[in-house]
Chain A
């Protein structure tokens, strides 16, 4: 008995000793389409950090649907930083007091170091002649987009359509509601996530237009072939701002705040911005934006805050149970 106790004690000491000597490993909990971006960004930052401080660190990535990732962090996944699809998901983590309520003001530009927008993917030759949002509500057009209630990314799609019509009709909410209504009447399949919708559009051949994040559309066209699909850029679209934040509770407990903070700030440097641009995210830094301006078509962009006030307002009015999105399907 005493022997096994001693053994266990020895084992624990060994583990603890290992813990002290081991290099720090940080966890970045992110959403699906940033996989390729952080795969390139992490080694760049690790190199930068070693050059600056001499300390060796490593990074782990976790990817998944934005809301389910936020839920994992709330339920105890030890994320040092979160890089999610929308502010609402980080707000949900902040509501559980894992990070400060004013997290979005702690980094420049709404804590969104890179942005994207919403564009359409159509079949080669654009047989239905889709040019703008207004073409998506025509009765003979079939549109593919995921369910905004289960997909964070798809909420941007919905809001982009709403904002477009709102601007066109002099801020008439009933008109915008009707517009979004007829748009979703043209959606034959509501997948639960963006990748599912891509499969429906690309593999099943369903739909004339696929509403997509710009970075995803580029990826799809480059991976799946320019001979099959084209990107159509609407006249106006939303500025999607996927935000990033340090999770206070976790970094304070693990003593990783300095690294986590530097990691996120590095996203704003020319090096970080360049990597983001290479992965089809729109850079914030003017110099980098100029260098890659050929990749990103000019488009009139509006933000959530300009049109809707804030994410929490949007969530409540549009996507909560019984909200405007639900009403589309209850009317029948």
Chain B
């Protein structure tokens, strides 16, 4: 039986390594998530359904998941560009720019939220330019997108960068000598190589954004039905000592995120199968 999934590997000790992996994953991921599910079980099915399908909950999923998807898409496009610039060009201060990319991870999210709000509010540096044009960012769903784009920036850059470094420019040259136009070699040669990494970055940025609380609550305005994110609704439930209601919303969000992440993984498999 054990031979069924045992594979030859340069690392010895499959049993030990697998044991540690399972133990570690259980401790860090499965047990806390299991506890959330168990807590939800204390409420009946109808009560659970009422909690997770109320109009305010639905509005909050739309905002949380929608804004996260938009933010992850922006990060995918611009992150790809940033990675390209950082890998393919030499310019003074490149190392500093490279280090800048990671800053959104290092900053406490509340600080990010307060800073972004200060910038984009009607009296802020950026907001005071945009407001006369009729564009309001702070305290609207656009503000949520801005905050989520900020916190998710490093993911796509950091997943695409190593793949791009491995991708030899000679391959593009070869494509060119074989008569491919720039667009063709980008589309047929470079892009298929990068797509899995971009999708991984997209998935990470999306997953991080769905759960984000600290930076968003400052810039979103938190108006029920309009700019209320799901994590805020969960905190609201906790403030009312409604633990099971809070975990019910968490379980619903997790389930939706899981389906979306699974879908992204399917695209990845599909793209690998197609271009391999």
Contacts and interface: CB of A to CB of B under 8 A. Distances in A.
A191 B55 contact: no
B122 A68 contact: no
A150 B239 contact: yes
Interface residues of B, number: 29
B56 interface: yes
B224 interface: yes
B225 interface: yes
Contacts of A79: none
Interface of B: 54-56, 114, 117-118, 121-124, 138-139, 217-218, 221-225, 232, 235-242, 245
B221 A189 contact: yes
A189 B222 contact: yes
28 contacts: A65-B239, A67-B238, A68-B239, A92-B241, A147-B222, A149-B236, A149-B239, A149-B240, A150-B232, A150-B239, A152-B239, A188-B139, A190-B223, A190-B224, A192-B222, A204-B118, A204-B122, A204-B123, A206-B122, A315-B240, A319-B240, A321-B242, A321-B245, A326-B224, A329-B56, A329-B223, A330-B55, A330-B225
A330 B242 CA distance: 20
Contacts of B245: 321
Interface string A141-172: 00000010110100000000000000000000
B232 A192 contact: yes
A189 B120 CA distance: 14
B129 to A, nearest CB: 16
Contacts of B117: 204
A326 B235 CA distance: 15
Contacts of A206: 121-122, 139
A330 B56 contact: yes
Interface string A294-332: 000000000000000000000100011100001001101
A199 B114 contact: yes
Contact of A191 (B56, B122, B138, B222): B222
B121 A204 contact: yes
A127 interface: no
Given A68-B238, A152-B239, 4 more contacts: A67-B240, A71-B241, A150-B236, A204-B118
A205 interface: yes
Contacts of B139: 188-189, 206
Nearest to A331: B225
A227 interface: no
Contacts of B114: 199
Nearest to B124: A204
B246 to A, nearest CB: 11
